[in-house]
Amino acid sequence: MSTDVKIPQTLPKTHHAAPEGVKLPIYMDNHATTPMDPRVLEEMLPYFMEKFGNAASRNHSFGWVAEEGTETARERIAKLIGATTKEIIFTSGATESDNLAIKGVAEMYREKGNHIITAVTEHKAVLDTCKRLEKYGYRVTYLPVQKDGLIDLDDLKRAMDDKTILVTIMFANNEIGVLQPIAEIGKLCHEKGVVFHTDATQAIGKVPVDVIKQNIDLASISGHKMYGPKGVGALYVRRKNPRVQISAIIDGGGHERGMRSGTLNVPGIVGLGKACAIAQEEMPKESCRLAGLRNRLRDRIMTRLDETYINGSMEHRLPGNLNISFAYVEGESLLMGINDIAVSSGSACTSATLEPSYVLKALGAGDDLAHSSIRFGLGRFNTEAEVDYVADRVIETVERLRELSPLYEMAKEGINLKDVKWAAE
Amino acid sequence: MSYSDKVIDHYNNPRNVGSMDKNSTDVGTGLVGAPECGDVMKLQIKVNPATSVIEDAKFKTFGCGSAIASSSLATEWVKGKTVDQALAIKNMDIVKELSLPPVKIHCSVLAEDAIRAAIGDWKKKQESGKPVAAEAK
């Protein structure tokens, strides 16, 4: 496998020398996006110039060739999640897929009811879509999560009533990587005759997803989170047991069985298909390797630094995800100290709203720990040498910032920070 | 977000990091902000009681790079000034010097608060200590 991915050298220069075999900056933010696999690009290239046809052109070879490309992709995607080709609808990405699934069900099942259930830790593409529906008279229940980030199935059971038409719960969380009990949620939904949608953006291609075994009715898929291109995604729509119907939100030429009009993004779709085929073949090996690297990172950091806390369940978690809070250190200042490494923080300072991560707050750990969190997203092209370098830099920077932290000093003096009466800003 | 060179310089080489004895009568301590808000600054000054000149200043900050830089700069600026001169330092002076973007203005406000709190603490100590000092003379 080629790992020679060129990463643009746009981050600020650092005075740290890269160890043997490590190229700086290091990309370890694979929940935000992934670099494209070179094999995906190779597969896509002919579809820009040579095979440029419109997949909807029925009466000449240019159209047929393009359609052949999109239908191969459809097969590959379907195969990866245990679906059939007629159940795959191409979209522009997971945000559109989430919108189409939720708004599409809301409109289609309006006569049956107006109640939707979701969870507080969902992606904004789901939460904000639900919020919009509230304006149109839908009722939305936002389930809390437990300390480990998982929803309580009893909460879900209690929330369901005879007006419930849709449950939308993500497969894997984008910040803490926590995997929800999808099969059990789907089973509950099917018992009650409620449609079950899952935003599987972070999960597909990383952990096994099987729409039949896991009782999924609708699943959102994204290309760029799985080493495919940006601007392409898909929605799985179940056709039997039960047959799920959705209203379109984009009207036009009636493409994609009338569920999503618009000329197909042929190169993108071909790339998404190839990304799925690679994931299918390499997932068992890759998920083992990533979990190993992730655990190595965790162990190296946590044996050297005290008062570091993992956010979310370690047991039910994506193999490439690690989310740690470093007490007494503010997340953005930590990112600044490791500026040759691309990771994310749940700190307020890194968000436009100046609010710390709502996902971490939902775990009940307290705002102070949300401010101190770093998300490491390991991916296909990360190496062991990179993990070791990242661990060393994180340790060194946390130690330096703790020496600078009045909170660390107070804690060392035995002052309970919870008892301090803080002066309001 | 990109940082100005001055913020990066203060972050990489913070001036006057440390702590002084908060029980000393010559030392004023300001502790402002809250962990829940993501910013806590501790700024201390050592004042010459005869001249009211700030002879030394130390800080420790929990916060983003701009918060660290604002407090580091504040310690540099108050040193050598009288307490009254130090009270004249305004947050917008810090914003200007460090080229802070609008979302980071609160960091400069906190630094100004920290200066005021430290001076306030020192003044309180002087007032409560005055009669004793007068008698001794």
Determine how β-strand B54-62 pairs with β-strand A233-237. Answer: unpaired
Asked if A198 and A75 sit in the same domain, the reply is yes
Size of interface A-B (CB pairs under 8 A): 92
> Is residue A210 domain-resident?
yes
| Angle of CA points A22, A26, A32, to nearest 5° | 150
Q: What is the CATH number of the domain that holds A115?
A: 3.40.640.10
Q: Which residue's structure tokens are 């038409």?
A: A165
pLDDT band of B1, cuts 50, 70, 90: low
Q: A19: which 2 tokens?
A: 């160890």
CB contacts of B60 in chain A (<8 Å) are: 404-406, 409
- Asked which of A261, A278, A295 is the last residue of a domain, the reply is A278
- How many structural domains compose chain A? 2
Phi, psi of A117 (to 5 degrees): -115, 130
Q: Report, as an integer, the average pLDDT of A73-87.
A: 98
Task: Give dist(CA A274, CA A269) in Å, integer.
Answer: 9
For residue range A182-206, list pLDDT tens digits in order. Answer: 999 999 999 999 999 999 999 999 9
| Angle of CA points B94, B95, B98, to nearest 5° | 80
- The upper half-sphere exposure of residue A20, i.e. CA atoms within 13 Å in the direction of its Cβ, equals 0
pLDDT of residue B56: 97
What's the ipTM?
0.91
Listed in sequence order, the residues at least 6 apart from B80 whose beta carbon sits closer than 8 Å to its beta carbon are: B53, B54, B55
Yes or no, beta carbons of B11 and A337 under 8 Å apart: yes
Q: Which residue's structure tokens are 């559109």?
A: A96
The answer to whether A409 faces chain B, any CB pair under 8 Å, is yes
The CA-based dihedral angle spanning residues A31, A36, A37, A42, taken in that order and rounded to the nearest 10 degrees = 160
Asked if A222 and A310 sit in the same domain, the reply is no
Q: Mind listing the domains of chain B with CATH numbers?
A: 5-126 (3.90.1010.10)
The residue of chain A with its CA nearest to that of B61 is A405
The answer to whether A328 faces chain B, any CB pair under 8 Å, is yes
Cβ-nearest to B60 among A330, A352, A409: A409
For residue range B117-134, list pLDDT tens digits in order. Answer: 999 999 999 988 755 444
Q: Determine which of A340, A404, A409, A419 to mutate to test the interface with B (most B C-beta atoms within 10 Å).
A: A404
Contact at 8 Å (CB) between A93 and A233?
yes
> Is residue A425 domain-resident?
no
Asked if A157 and A235 sit in the same domain, the reply is yes
Closest CA to A308 of A388, A398, A416: A398
Residues belonging to chain B with any Cβ–Cβ distance to chain A shorter than 8 Å: 1, 3, 8, 11, 14, 17, 19, 31-42, 60-65, 67-68, 103, 106, 109-110, 113, 117
> Is residue A320 domain-resident?
yes
Asked if A297 and A407 sit in the same domain, the reply is yes
Asked if A294 and A180 sit in the same domain, the reply is no
> Is residue A424 domain-resident?
no
Contact at 8 Å (CB) between B58 and B75?
yes
Cβ-nearest to A330 among B1, B3, B62: B62
- What is the distance of C-alpha A331 from the center of its chain? 21
Q: Exactly one of B107, B115, B118, B119 is catalytic; which is it?
A: B107
The residue of chain A with its CA nearest to that of B14 is A404
Average pLDDT across chain A, whole number: 94
DSSP summary character for residue A86 = G
Q: Determine which of A307, A354, A425 to mutate to test the interface with B (most B C-beta atoms within 10 Å).
A: A425
Yes or no, beta carbons of B113 and A328 under 8 Å apart: no
Q: What is the CATH number of the domain that holds A362?
A: 3.90.1150.10
Buried b (16+ CB within 10 A) or exposed e, A374-407: bbbbbbbbbeeebbbbbbbbbbebbebbbebbbb
Task: Give dist(CA A6, CA A18) in Å, integer.
Answer: 16
For residue range A108-144, list pLDDT tens digits in order. Answer: 999 999 999 999 999 999 999 999 999 999 999 999 9
CB contacts of B106 in chain A (<8 Å) are: 425
Contact at 8 Å (CB) between A99 and A221?
no
Partners of B38 in the β-ladder: none
> Is residue A4 domain-resident?
no
> Is residue A318 domain-resident?
yes
> Is residue A224 domain-resident?
yes
Q: Locate all alpha helices (DSSP H) within chain B, ordered by sequence.
A: 5-12, 65-78, 83-87, 91-98, 105-136
Q: Which residue's structure tokens are 């050592």?
A: B46
pLDDT of residue A352: 62
Task: Give dist(CA A311, CA A328) in Å, integer.
Answer: 16
Asked if A207 and A138 sit in the same domain, the reply is yes
Task: Give dist(CA A302, CA A95) in Å, integer.
Answer: 35
Task: Give dist(CA A289, CA A263) in Å, integer.
Answer: 39
pLDDT of residue A115: 98
Q: Which residue range is the domain that position A165 belongs to?
A: 40-278
- Asked which of A278, A298, A332 is the last residue of a domain, the reply is A278
- Give, in order, the Cα–Cα distances in Å from A218 to each of A93, A115, B96: 14, 17, 53
CB contacts of A16 in chain B (<8 Å) are: none
Closest CA to A43 of A73, A79, A6, A81: A73
CB contacts of A347 in chain B (<8 Å) are: 38, 64
Q: Which residue's structure tokens are 């296909």?
A: A380
For residue range B20-54, list pLDDT tens digits in order. Answer: 999 999 999 999 999 988 899 999 999 999 999 99
For residue range A26-71, list pLDDT tens digits in order. Answer: 999 999 999 999 999 999 999 999 999 999 999 999 999 999 999 9
CA distance B63 to chain A (A): 5
> Is residue A353 domain-resident?
yes
Determine how β-strand A344-345 pairs with β-strand A373-377. Answer: antiparallel
Asked if A304 and A338 sit in the same domain, the reply is yes
Asked if A384 and A409 sit in the same domain, the reply is yes
Asked if A339 and A293 sit in the same domain, the reply is yes
Asked if A409 and A338 sit in the same domain, the reply is yes
- Asked which of A245, A263, A278 is the last residue of a domain, the reply is A278
Task: Out of A16-25, A220-229, A256-265, A295-304, pick the least confident.
Answer: A16-25
The residue of chain B with its CA nearest to that of A407 is B62
Burial of A38 (0-12, 13-18, 19+ CB in 10 A): middle
Task: Give dist(CA A358, CA A128) in Å, integer.
Answer: 13
Asked if A254 and A308 sit in the same domain, the reply is no
Longest dimension (CA), chain B: 57
SS3 A272: helix
Asked if A130 and A259 sit in the same domain, the reply is yes
More confident residue, A16 or B78: B78
